Structure 1
Amino acid sequence: MPLSVYIGVDLGTTNLKALAIDARSSAIVAHAARPVATLSPKPDVAEQDADQLWTLFLDMMAELARELPAEVAIGGVSFSTAMHSLLAVDEAGKPLTNALIWSDNRAATDAATIKQEHPDLYQIVGVPIHPMLPLCKLAWFKRTNPRLLKRASRWVSVKDYFWWKLTGRYEIDYAMAGATGMFNSTKTAWHLPALALAGIRPDQLSTPVDTTQTVPYVPPATGAVPGLRAGVPLVIGASDGCLANIGAGALEPGITTITIGTSGAVRRTSPRPVRDGQARLFSYMMHHGNRQQPTLYAVGGPTNNGANVLQWVSEKIMHLPVDGVLKQAATVPAGADGLLFLPYLHGERAPLWDASVRGSFQGLDYVHTSAHMARAALEGVLFNLRRIELLLARHAGPTHVIHANGGFAQSPFWVQLMADIFAVPVRLNASNESSGIGAALLAHFALANPPTSLAELAQTVQFGQMFTPNPDAVKIYRQHYNQFAALIEGSSSGQ
């Protein structure tokens, strides 16, 4: 019996990844990746070349095809992607700009204006107003390059662009649409007043569709995707955050997913959207309900400051490899002998939503060493994530267990800190490819015959080590977290 697989493609801002999972066990049977270059010629600029990304995608899929048996049966392909990218295309689909990615901050002034003049917009679109949003990026184009705004036939995300090249359709899934700041998920339609702020018409955006939208692949006469035969079902998929919840097996109440890569995020799966009174949390639709599966949302908050803080300590303070920094930090007691670190080296999204906020050490004393600073930095990243989690718990209930993934999970020391600071068990996924796995599982869900549920598929996710809280450390960190929270409340205009 030939191997049957589902393929998940993850279009990240650091790497493009593709993996194939066994249709029966969900085990990863093949994997390929390609690094992505970001263009940052000036401060606040962060762009990527969409056509270069497509070339990397084709090369990556060729490698994946080589890893799979010749007679493999591909049940379907689904797509995960980083949120908030934006590029202009002409009538022929040719890019007129690079893709502005989430970290492009040129729309900061426009975001501040929209946030001040339209304070009720968050309640409709469900995502805090921030320069990362395509809404704000379009407002920036409207202000700085109105000729381009009129010239562009369409404004699309990187995944929209890929989907058009694969299917000939301009479509955007509900999760990605929700990440634009211009989508009303309750009505599953573009919010026209937001489009007016952006200076565009609905026909300049892709058509919103459910995350399970499926189109059979029709290879073009030239340039077919390696390994994909005619008729293979293509499932549009969702954003990386939504699919990471599925791929982390985190669909049940009380399970919180925390990802720490370069940046980080805290997410829960919810049957309803969340609206925070101070506009600090997002809500993205994972799936529009039907008879097999009720509507699901991914709710939570992202942080700009994750493992990039550890990298900063490594390069700028200790001048040691990351492994050496972690070893030194482990020699310092919990709480870093009273040293606290506000980890805002790159401004901050949740919970502050303040691009201008900056980091600092608090309580720095003559007895403190660079090892203390390293430990305080690691603790500070987790204190900030804890703040997001506690905010989320007010709306979605308490956390009973954390499903953790991302690059930080390679450090047992840092994962144990998470268990101690959050005071709940932390369960590692067997693979850090949760978004890609989630995409593949969504394809399985969309195409399964007989039908299955996402909850049933999430139960096939494989796990690694479980970390339990140390009661003595929990007591110390409860006190230190309260001090951290008091510093934030006293110094931030976002609280």
Structure 2
Amino acid sequence: MNCILGVDIGTTNVKALAFQPETGDIVAHASAPLTTLHPQPGYAEQDPEEVWTNLIDVLDEVCREVKQQNGRIEAVGFSSAMHSSIGVDDAGKPLTNAILWSDNRAEKQAASLRHEQTALGKDIYERTGTPLHPMIPLCKLAWFREHNLRLLRRATGWISIKEYIWHKLTGKYQIDYSIATATGLFDSQRKEWYAPALEFAGIRIEQLSEPVPTTYAGKLTNSTLPNSVTDGLAEASLHIGASDGCLANLGAGAIESGITTITIGTSGAIRRTVQRPLRDEKGRLFSYILNVSDPTDKNYYVVGGPTNNGANVLQWVSEKLTQTETTDVLAEAATVEAGSDDLLFLPYLQGERAPLWDAGVRGSYLNVDWHHGRAHFVRAALEGVLFNLLRIERILSRHTGPTRVIHANGGFAQSAFWVQMMADIFGVPVRLNESNESGAIGAILLTMKATGRVSSLAEATRHVGFGQTFEPDAERHRRYQAVYKRFEQALP
């Protein structure tokens, strides 16, 4: 039994899946939680060593499970969260924690590019395809330039958590094109680091890793790993893979035009796969590389927008607003008609990325009336999350064409009520993915392409399984169209 391993290094967990291509079965699975640190308000960090240790534990468990089934791991592909930044010394030892996408300390530096150095900001967006926001390494490094220049220059390298893991496994500092395009430092068309962005960040090209294609293969060189991992991966090729957002699209089976992927976990994202780089005239959409420079397949880019406000809004409603279990909160929301009797909620509890790209924006209820009860406030909050995603979809569709079906995944998919609400608001069918592990599955599918098991990524998506499809209700959709117009008018 030959297996392909998909590893997903997220911000809440490290996961690994062992996939058997012949049967399409997941034959082993392991996961370990990660701790996010908040040493100051607005900061979000992780200990790189904890991520590494947890990854080894996960690999150890999966390798043992595969061995117990007389299996063999032939290849490993990697998915990782974007936008992290770590300073390392000559020996590869971290000089900082991993500064995560959700860290907002660089708000001033991002605002400078958007509102003061606008020509430079526009140029960087056009070259990189990365919206200007505190989340991106470009702005994080500029923060160090202003607040700790000595450390910025002292670090031999500035790398992501994925590069840190890749170096630990292979001994090489390399970054895949997908993660690179999410830094704000990488010219996505020339496939090289962009000098004006590096100058703004205050770093030298020697401090950055070698960019490589997402199908790039290496070998395990670390001899200090547990025997189970060393033995299990002895004959395996390691494939650097791509970012979790791009691989989530692939793992959701969303390669063809007209298919939009929506993921709602704590935060959320809406994405489309296209075959050319895309730029929004107002810099509101990202455009990241999934697979390019491959003469045997099409070029693929993933475009879209991330939101800070997804299921965290449901958590806020449950814990802070109603102090009620989420299952009861959802049931209560279902007692109110679509549109919440004109009550609107702007869901910006933690600032916002797309479509506003404003870390300082905050949420609010609008049109509050005497007859509105708790259930109205609950339902309006859930609708607000989806209205914000619809706003991003409207911007995206102007560039990529209309959505004909949504492939949905993430924690919200456990609520049939919320998924049906999505279908009613967007007015198109919503198809659930069979697995919520779309990042790891995407890493597996990309690895299948890299190893020649499939001839194209389109062929790889035939291995994606689906669950229930939710059809929109015409009357509720009509009602939601009117409510959404008021939501759009109320946006900051």
The TM tier, using the shorter chain, reads: over 0.9
Listed as ranges, the matches of 1:20-169 within 5 Å are 20-70=18-68, 71-115=70-114, 116-117=116-117, 118-120=120-122, 121-169=124-172
Corresponding residue SS for 1:341 = strand
* 1:23 Cα deviation from its structure 2 partner: 1.4
- Given that 2:171 and 2:221 are in contact with CA atoms closer than 8 Å, whether structure 1 keeps it comes out as no
* Rounded Cα–Cα distance in structure 1 between residues aligned with 2:38 and 2:373: 34
Q: How does 1:347-358 map to 2 (within 5 A)?
A: 347-358=351-362
Amino acid at match of 2:164: Y
CA deviation map 1:239-266 (0-9, x unaligned): 0000001100000000000000000000
How far apart are the structure 1 equivalents of 2:421 and 2:213? 38
Structure 2, unaligned runs of 5 or more: none
Q: Post-superposition shift, 1:227? A: 5.6
Between the aligned partners of 2:230 and 2:444, the Cα distance in structure 1 is 18
Is contact 2:166-2:173 (8 Å) kept? yes
Q: Of 180, 183, 189, which residue of structure 2 is paired with 1:180?
A: 183
Residue 467 of structure 1: which of 456, 466, 470 is its match?
470
CA contact (8 A) 1:9 1:18 kept: yes
Post-superposition shift, 1:203?
Answer: 1.1
The 3-state SS of whatever aligns with 1:316 is helix
Of residues 285, 292, 300 in structure 2, which corresponds to 1:288?
Answer: 292
Provide the C-alpha distance between the structure 1 equivalents of 2:24 and 2:198, rounded to a whole number of angstroms. 41
Once the two structures are superposed, the pairs formed by residues 150-229 of structure 1 within 5 Å of their partners are: 150-221=153-224, 225=229, 228-229=232-233
Opposite residue 406 of structure 2, the aligned amino acid is I
Letter in 2 for 1:197: F
Q: Alignment partner of 2:446: what SS?
A: helix
What secondary structure is seen at the aligned counterpart in 2 of 1:103?
coil
Task: Specify the SS of the correspondent of 2:241.
Answer: strand
> By how many angstroms is 1:221 displaced?
4.9
- Tell me how far apart the structure 1 counterparts of residues 76 and 332 of structure 2 sit (CA, whole Å): 44
Q: How far apart are residue 61 of structure 1 and its match?
A: 1.3
Paired letter, 1:170: Y
> Are the equivalent residues in 1 in contact too, given 2:213–2:293 (CA < 8 A)?
no
Shift of 1:62: 1.5
* Distance in 2 (alpha carbons) for counterparts of 1:425 and 1:9: 30
Unaligned runs of 5+ in 1: none
Alpha-carbon distance in structure 2 between the residues aligned to 1:300 and 1:454: 19
Q: Number of matched residues? A: 486
TM-score normalised by structure 1 residue count: 0.96
How far apart, CA to CA, are the structure 1 residues paired with 2:279 and 2:231?
43
Q: Which stretch of the first structure deviates more once superposed, 63-72 or 43-52? A: 63-72
Give deviations 1:326-345, integer Å, cap 9, x for gaps.
01001111001111100000
Q: Which amino acid aligns with 1:128?
A: P
Does structure 2 conserve the Cα–Cα contact (< 8 Å) formed by 1:62 and 1:226? no
Q: In structure 2, what is the Cα distance between the partners aligned to 1:328 and 1:41?
A: 37
Per-residue displacement from partner, 1:339-391 (whole Å, max 9, x unpaired)?
11000001100000011111000111111111111100000000000000110
CA distance in 1, matches of 2:388, 2:281: 19
Whether 1:443 and 2:447 are equivalent positions in the alignment is yes
Instruction: Determine helix, strand or coil for the equivalent of 2:74.
Output: strand
- Assess if the C-alpha contact under 8 Å between 1:219 and 1:230 holds in 2: no
Deviates more, 1:387-396 or 1:224-233: 224-233
Moved more, 474-483 or 64-73: 64-73
Identity %: 56
How far apart are residue 223 of structure 1 and its match? 5.0
What secondary structure is seen at the aligned counterpart in 1 of 2:463?
coil
The 10-residue stretch of structure 1 (241-250 or 365-374) with the greater mean CA deviation from structure 2? 365-374
Is 1:62–1:227's contact at 8 Å kept on the other side of the alignment?
no
- Tell me, yes or no, if structure 1 residue 418 matches structure 2 residue 422: yes
Contact 2:247 2:443 in 1 (8 A): yes
Task: Report if the CA contact (8 A) 2:168-2:222 is conserved.
Answer: no
> Quick check: 111-120 or 46-55, which moved more?
111-120
Give 1:226 deviation, angstroms: 5.5
Q: Is 1:61–1:227's contact at 8 Å kept on the other side of the alignment?
A: no
The CA distance in 2 between the partners of 1:263 and 1:203, in whole Å, is: 34
Alignment pair present for 1:483 and 2:486: yes
Sort the Cα spacing of 1:222 and 1:389 in 2 relative to 1 into closer, same or farther, 3 A.
closer
Whether the 8 Å CA contact 1:245–1:257 is kept in 2: the answer is yes
TM-superposed CA distance for 1:63, in Å, is 1.6
In structure 2, distance between residues paired with 1:114 and 1:177: 19
- Tell me the alpha carbon deviations over residues 8-58 of structure 1, each in whole angstroms, 9 at most, x when there is no partner: 111000111111111124332211111110001221110000011101111
Alignment pair present for 1:396 and 2:379: no
Q: CA RMSD in A?
A: 1.2
